[in-house]
A and B are shown apart, each in its own frame.
Chain A
């Protein structure tokens, strides 16, 4: 029985105890509920967590752990991980989710826990290696870090002293970090930041950028009414895990999901409307939806009037000053031809279904969340218009930066300002990365490097590939091998990688870098309407420091000679400029101890102390320094509900001597308020009197607006018009290079832009758990096509002929692909040449053959079991590790966005006698011919160059060079190109 009055007493007792515990920064109740999500250890027990040892079952043996947060380094989502460090052995036993991480919220996909496989991979690279034979011959000798650093630093120093700055290049795959490397290259004065982005997301980025001045979407899926995905974000992609969990939240609240994917992806299976369009017709579909919404008046008229740069559109048509109503008339006319029937004829999707989808989208109001990352925008000529027309729908509904709508990335991302930020910009323009033929390319034209190096007769003194594998990832990989093997092109190739890859085989140095639990980085990505900062850290170092050890160099806590990157770059920079005479070293000196080398604790400690709002206060409440707080929790939420930044009023004190120009852009003489964030973003021109742009006037109010030349959403892009593409300046539909009208008889589109859900390009190759789940990439082919082409059945070998050659692959006959289209994931098909060391898990051993420009790759041995220190490797039951199809892909640079257009026009036939699974044959002479063919599509800067510039100044650019370098005059004085 319960005594009278005891309930009231217990209520008071529990309330008081809870308040007391929480005032000490402790959690009162146990961690997050099992019935909410999963059970997490409470934060008070991160240093001493006890679990039963599953391997000891049925004995009850307790294992004691330290739980150390870090950040996953597989895909770019940067989800939080908790490393379970065994207190007895100081080894990581497992990785689980970090509930303190605002983006991933404790949840992970398979790739996060599989980090354990990567750090315990018996084939990982543990020591610095130097080439001992010819490039690619497979002979290596172990060298010390000291020797490697000395050699590399001396070459870079010499190049800088001799003003050969453009001969130093850093080529990165997914960066997985914000700010460190760009700061370093700026300090070096090198325009050498080269990324993989033009084989990835730059098409979509371009489409977003020319609307908003920011280049990625941040959909608020959890609060959306309608979600439109041109992607497979319920299974893979950036930022799949954080987005997928919020898409499901939205669906649980009643949101409808529309997925455009030619394949029946795992995401499409969850859709309320799965649209399987003919590849490249997506923009036609969106324009048909837009046309219907415009005609039916189902758009937010006031939003369009206030925030679109419709007056620029009118001015470009010679109707400057005409009223908004005139714009609406023209808008109706502009898209009148995009009927549902037209879109149906282009896409092959029934007009009634498109109409139904249009009606659904129009009901979303300001809660339309949309996303496109690669997919169609990375597959097609003109793919950037997929993102641009998709954004048109949100812009019609006013669903931008609204709850349940789509935000621009920069407002949902936080990149803190680092210490000793070099206020300098490279003085020389790197023409190999930013060739004049592609002045509007949003990112570096990296996949054209072999062709551009040859055309420009260029040479790189030092070329870093950093956790990147262009030979395998890029199209036309044999041309890459030719370039990397050619001493006239590459002086020294340094591959920074934890794992062997196809590119590292052709390097001069292979330097072992840490996996996600072995390196420092800062990350922040747009995953919801908020801003967070994630901290990746070497967990064994952090664990040992918790136990009271002082670790000066992360190598002390790493396996073998594995190093983390930050310390490597700091050390290399000091060796490049040991006495400071090049003016570089100063940026890598400790702020606290000038003249001494900056440590990672100096670097991150300064950032967390000085430029992360709210972090010092939160840390102090727990009696921790900001650095200690981040080492303990791994992430911090800087802001939530950022909202409509563009509608914010410019404060009066920022309107000193303000000037409003004829286009309602507002300029001020007041200095920009101090920001904790690193510089970046677009560069908006000042007015004629040197005032800086501060906002835009809308209905008489001074508002922040958008970081575009007009300050508005750019329905009409003057940039595109002035740089030679007026016909593409408003959102429109460009027929793809695989449009039926452009296909030769017998050809069909091949889609290769999709991932296998648990894999992530080459980065996850050494994860045994992931490889067991997904290890091959068959050709998706519809039963009607299989019958027409006389392909026997699933598992039959087929030969797929591309413009450069062919590959041999197994067929997967499935109704999950549209008839008339085939698909093959670009994942898998990893290989190592005979005689090379390397990964045995998930890699075939191949013979590379070359005769002039004719190359072949012939598998000699597939995957399968092997003996190693890990007994699991004897249990590998699969031998098929897929086919490396990208070798046979010609380069297809989009003439506007610069994106490689991945879709291939191929013919498919049963394998020829003698064909073996995995065979590849290519003629690189044909790849040159194709490069030249696509080059004919461009409109170079030299021909359309307002102000004699190489590129519009305002557009985004990593490591932005000095303004003088943008001008062609610099070219004349500079020598080569």
Chain B
């Protein structure tokens, strides 16, 4: 049984909650906590639900990733919405292709099935499972339950098709992590904060946790500013903590190799490389800051 309606129902929770969400939340048994402040904390401040952030070389919204995804919408005969890479609309599109597959016959059904498989492998799976890891770390109550349900539904969907034989175009196009010793500190920090380059998702909350654990002050501001603040206070400890974080991320990716194949291996490699580089830098810094800063 495909999960068309369930995915559609889950997709609405990636948008700001309105009174109408309560009915669907009740049906899904999400419990309490689906409210404006939880939404804002999770999806606005910590984990904006846009594929381009997790698949683009800059780690920003928009850019080529969004263009590629818009192209996919057009290829399957849809007008791309204003934000075609938003998780909510990607899930909605996946559900609607499932519906089309169910209603069509013969070649039409096969096409819809292929489109659905391509959407999952190219534009959803390469980032969403790692993304949901962090949602589950940060969310409590309804959104945590939502994330578990969504993960399970997508695992079920991914299990229905063969793992991707080749990497998605986003992964193929993404450069690796920059080494500050060769390319300078600013480039390194940008790459570290771009999940597709570093293999890790460094949320604002993760940086806060590092600061708390190391007894450092967390400067208010965007993530790069905060990270520079931490490195400025204690580069070695910060780099070491980030290396541990990256190693944990590598393990999480490796656990999904059975499900996602090459996609998970790619992310694991990236996270592993990041962990090693951070370790090296931590040793080298010996109380200083990474070279080139």
Stretch at the interface among A14-22, A170-178, A324-332, A711-719: A14-22
Partner of B1, one of A11, A14, A39, A222: A11
Residue of A nearest to B88 (CB): A35
A249 & B16 in contact (Cβ 8 Å cutoff): no
Judged by a CB distance under 8 angstroms, whether A1 is at the interface is yes
A15 & B79 in contact (Cβ 8 Å cutoff): no
Residue of A nearest to B74 (CB): A253
Stretch at the interface among A26-34, A505-513, A558-566: A26-34
- In the complex, A28→B24 CA distance in Å? 8
- In the complex, A34→B81 CA distance in Å? 10
Which residues of B, 15-72, contact A by the 8 Å Cβ criterion?
15-16, 18-21, 23-24, 27-29, 70
Stretch at the interface among A2-10, A664-672, A916-924: A2-10
A7 & B20 in contact (Cβ 8 Å cutoff): no
Total interface residues in chain A, CB < 8 Å: 29
- In the complex, A174→B152 CA distance in Å? 58
User: Which of chain A's residues have a CB closer than 8 A to the CB of B20?
Assistant: 27, 29-31, 42
Q: Known interface pairs A2-B149, A33-B81. Does A10 touch B89 (Cβ–Cβ under 8 Å)?
A: no
User: Which of chain B's residues have a CB closer than 8 A to the CB of A56?
Assistant: none
Q: How far is the CB of A46 from chain B (nearest CB, A)?
A: 13
Judged by a CB distance under 8 angstroms, whether A593 is at the interface is no
Q: Known interface pairs A33-B89, A36-B89. Does A13 touch B21 (Cβ–Cβ under 8 Å)?
A: no
A253 & B79 in contact (Cβ 8 Å cutoff): yes
Stretch at the interface among B2-10, B115-123, B205-213, B253-261: B2-10
Judged by a CB distance under 8 angstroms, whether B168 is at the interface is no
User: Which of chain A's residues have a CB closer than 8 A to the CB of B19?
Assistant: 45
Judged by a CB distance under 8 angstroms, whether A317 is at the interface is no
Q: How far is the CB of B12 from chain A (nearest CB, A)?
A: 6
Q: How far is the CB of A787 from chain B (nearest CB, A)?
A: 42
B148 & A10 in contact (Cβ 8 Å cutoff): no
B5 & A35 in contact (Cβ 8 Å cutoff): no
- In the complex, A10→B5 CA distance in Å? 9
User: Which of chain B's residues have a CB closer than 8 A to the CB of A45?
Assistant: 19
User: Which of chain A's residues have a CB closer than 8 A to the CB of B6?
Assistant: 7, 10-11, 14
- In the complex, A31→B1 CA distance in Å? 28
A30 & B27 in contact (Cβ 8 Å cutoff): no
B152 & A2 in contact (Cβ 8 Å cutoff): yes
User: Which of chain A's residues have a CB closer than 8 A to the CB of B27?
Assistant: 10, 13-14, 17
Judged by a CB distance under 8 angstroms, whether A24 is at the interface is no
Main secondary structure of the interface of A (DSSP, over half): loop
B15 & A33 in contact (Cβ 8 Å cutoff): yes
User: Which of chain B's residues have a CB closer than 8 A to the CB of A27?
Assistant: 20
A7 & B152 in contact (Cβ 8 Å cutoff): yes
Residue of B nearest to A37 (CB): B82
Residue of A nearest to B49 (CB): A35
User: Which of chain B's residues have a CB closer than 8 A to the CB of A29?
Assistant: 8-9, 12, 20, 24
Q: How far is the CB of B13 from chain A (nearest CB, A)?
A: 10
Residue of B nearest to A253 (CB): B74
Partner of B16, one of A1, A18, A34: A34
- In the complex, A7→B16 CA distance in Å? 24
Judged by a CB distance under 8 angstroms, whether A252 is at the interface is yes
Q: Known interface pairs A33-B15, A37-B82. Does A252 touch B3 (Cβ–Cβ under 8 Å)?
A: no
User: Which of chain A's residues have a CB closer than 8 A to the CB of B1?
Assistant: 8, 11
Q: Known interface pairs A14-B6, A18-B5, A42-B20. Does A34 touch B15 (Cβ–Cβ under 8 Å)?
A: yes
Q: Known interface pairs A11-B4, A18-B5, A35-B81. Does A30 touch B12 (Cβ–Cβ under 8 Å)?
A: yes
A252 & B86 in contact (Cβ 8 Å cutoff): no
User: Which of chain B's residues have a CB closer than 8 A to the CB of A253?
Assistant: 74, 79
B82 & A14 in contact (Cβ 8 Å cutoff): no
A36 & B81 in contact (Cβ 8 Å cutoff): yes
- In the complex, A915→B226 CA distance in Å? 61
B153 & A7 in contact (Cβ 8 Å cutoff): yes
Partner of B18, one of A30, A36, A254: A30
Q: How far is the CB of B128 from chain A (nearest CB, A)?
A: 16
User: Which of chain A's residues have a CB closer than 8 A to the CB of B70?
Assistant: 252
Judged by a CB distance under 8 angstroms, whether B279 is at the interface is no
- In the complex, A10→B74 CA distance in Å? 31
Which residues of B, 83-131, contact A by the 8 Å Cβ criterion?
83, 86, 88-89, 92
- In the complex, A31→B20 CA distance in Å? 9
- In the complex, A10→B6 CA distance in Å? 7
User: Which of chain B's residues have a CB closer than 8 A to the CB of A31?
Assistant: 18, 20
- In the complex, A2→B83 CA distance in Å? 30
- In the complex, A2→B70 CA distance in Å? 33
User: Which of chain B's residues have a CB closer than 8 A to the CB of A14?
Assistant: 5-6, 8-9, 24, 27-28
Judged by a CB distance under 8 angstroms, whether B232 is at the interface is no
B79 & A249 in contact (Cβ 8 Å cutoff): yes
Judged by a CB distance under 8 angstroms, whether B180 is at the interface is no
A30 & B149 in contact (Cβ 8 Å cutoff): no
Residue positions of A touching B, CB distance < 8 A = 1-2, 7-8, 10-11, 13-15, 17-18, 27-31, 33-37, 39, 42, 45, 222, 249, 252-254
6 extra interchain contacts, Cβ-Cβ under 8 A, other than A7-B156, A14-B28, A37-B81? Answer: A11-B1, A29-B8, A35-B86, A36-B81, A45-B19, A249-B79
12 CB-based A-B contacts, threshold 8 Å: A7-B6, A7-B149, A8-B1, A10-B28, A10-B149, A11-B1, A13-B27, A17-B27, A30-B20, A31-B18, A33-B92, A39-B16
In order of increasing CB-CB distance, the 3 nearest A-B pairs are A2-B152, A30-B20, A35-B86
